[in-house]
Structure 1
Amino acid sequence: MALNIRQMEILDIARASGRVGVEELAERFDVTLQTIRRDLGELADQGVLDRVHGGAVLRSGVSNIGYEQRRQMYSDGKAAIARACAAEIPDNSSIILNLGTTTEAVARELLNHRNLTVITNNMNVANILVANESCDIMVAGGALRRTDGGLVGDLTTEFMAQFKPDYAIIGTSALDIDGDLLDFDMAEVRVSRAIAGLARQTFLVTDISKLSRSAPVRIISMGQLDTVFVDQRLPDSLMQKCAEWGTRVIVAD
């Protein structure tokens, strides 16, 4: 079935923001709620969106959304998460920052911190923090992913194993309701697992949309984290599990 012009525009909006709402779309296109629901149903039938309560999200699968698209999605939420996370990082600290657009947002919030040592396998993080002249930056070796500036592979994991930083700040591509962090790339997952096991404290930075996505490879459980920074409250069942695990949850505002 060919998409009509409105449906193509809806898909463009979803690609830019990750999610679309029925009421917002009805107002934007000046059509009824039923018309938008029908559009979203047809887009779901085409395999490009997944219906959720009140709207739809980009369909998850076995491949990740493109880097530039991810960088623009939920930018306000990521900025709030990054501010909350950076506020927990004192000056004179050592930090590992891994791959992801949210960890890059954290790097931007660390530009005014003093005397940091940052270890990263994310070329974008290194390029952001080079503006902080009091920050020492150590970049891992490994295979460069041109799509997002990430360094992955055995060499990267071996490099990370040499350190025991104060904080590890990691991201995730998807989050399971059982509390598992998920990703798409096994090579990246190995690095993330190594990073999480090195630091004195491990932080997860993630927006709530990751709960509506799926990925095939498990990283670790939220029970292995010290703190989770998120832009909206987690579902009650997951909040309860975090309380049982002793994992602190900070909802950024």
Structure 2
Amino acid sequence: MQNQHSVAELPHVRRQKILLLLERDGKVMASELGQHFAVSEDTIRRDLAELADAGLLQRVHGGALPRPKDTGKDVFTRLGESSEVKRHLARLGAQRVQEGQIVMFDSGSTTLLIAQSLPADIGITAVTASPLIAIAMAEYPRSQVILAGGRLNPATLSAGGHEAVRLIQGIRADLLFTGVCAIHPEVGITSQHFDEVPVKQALLDSASQVVAVTTADKLGAVEPFAVAPCNRLHTLITEQHLASGSIDDYRRLGIEVVQASV
């Protein structure tokens, strides 16, 4: 950021410009904003606090990140909002599945769409803690389904707890489709739900290849609970155009990035 403001902005104007910088860059740092607007870091911290209180960004140490766009939506709501873009991304993900593989499906509306997009005659072993995905996979007569049990989270409709984690830890899978609440190149993969973190971590530890399929609005966002750094992903399948940040940030981490042109 270059200093373009020799005279301090009015607070409401400065805060609007902070949001524009956040949309462009995918993150803002208080020290850089202070130099950019020629004001103190305390002033910037007050600006960020006001914007966070208004639900317009998420405060992190030293700066701010975008707010996730679908916070609080349950799986049925997300399924009802499934767009053609999301379905196209799911079909691209499904093309990664090979006959005879052990494939783990994390919970989520996109991973459910991937399961529903497989070839009708596919023969795999599907492992999941999501009853919805287990039911979808039961439609494939040549495939087997292993459903991890435990306490059901009503928001995600996925099982959690020690039972689910132990079962997952006992399996070595060829492929994992990890669910994505939010992913940021520096903060990593994060989740809205604390109790699903151990299951997500067990899935990541149990798969040879990890694929994340997500719409662009999840990129550059952060949820409260850390799951893993971004470099745990091998492949990221997403949209051609990002709302903020750069897709090269993920490529620099060694992730194969596939951008769908839809």
What TM-score does the superposition give when structure 2 sets the normalisation length?
A: 0.69
Residue 254 of structure 2 corresponds to 246
Asked if 1:217 is matched to 2:228, the reply is no
**CA separation in 1, counterparts of 2:247 and 2:53?**
34
Identical aligned pairs, as a percentage?
A: 20
Residue 157 of structure 2 corresponds to 149
Describe the shift of the 1:211–1:101 C-alpha distance in structure 2 as closer, same or farther (beyond 3 A): same
Which runs of structure 2 are paired with 1:42-81 in the superposition (5 Å)? 50=56, 60=68, 64-81=72-89
- SS for the counterpart of 2:173 is coil
Residue 21 of structure 1 corresponds to none
Letter paired with 2:89:
I
Residue 16 of structure 1 corresponds to none
Asked if 1:158 is matched to 2:196, the reply is no
The Cα shift of 1:106 comes to 0.3
The Cα shift of 1:147 comes to 3.6
**CA separation in 2, counterparts of 1:171 and 1:63?**
14
The Cα shift of 1:107 comes to 0.5
Describe the shift of the 1:159–1:45 C-alpha distance in structure 2 as closer, same or farther (beyond 3 A): closer
> Which residues of structure 1 form unaligned runs of 5+?
1-43, 52-58
**CA separation in 2, counterparts of 1:61 and 1:231?**
16
Describe the shift of the 1:209–1:154 C-alpha distance in structure 2 as closer, same or farther (beyond 3 A): same
Which runs of structure 2 are paired with 1:131-210 in the superposition (5 Å)? 131-178=139-186, 180-210=188-218
> Bigger radius of gyration, 1 or 2?
2
Asked if the contact 2:183/2:230 (under 8 Å) is kept, the reply is no
Residue 126 of structure 1 corresponds to 134
Instruction: Extract structure 1 runs of 4+ deviating beyond 6 A.
Output: none
Comparing 62-71 with 178-187, greater Cα deviation is found at 62-71
Comparing 142-151 with 186-195, greater Cα deviation is found at 142-151
Cα RMSD for the two superposed structures: 2.8
> Which residues of structure 2 form unaligned runs of 5+?
1-50, 58-66
TM-superposition CA deviations, 1:126-145 (whole Å, max 9, x none): 11111110110000011112
Asked if 1:231 is matched to 2:239, the reply is yes
Asked if the contact 2:217/2:243 (under 8 Å) is kept, the reply is no
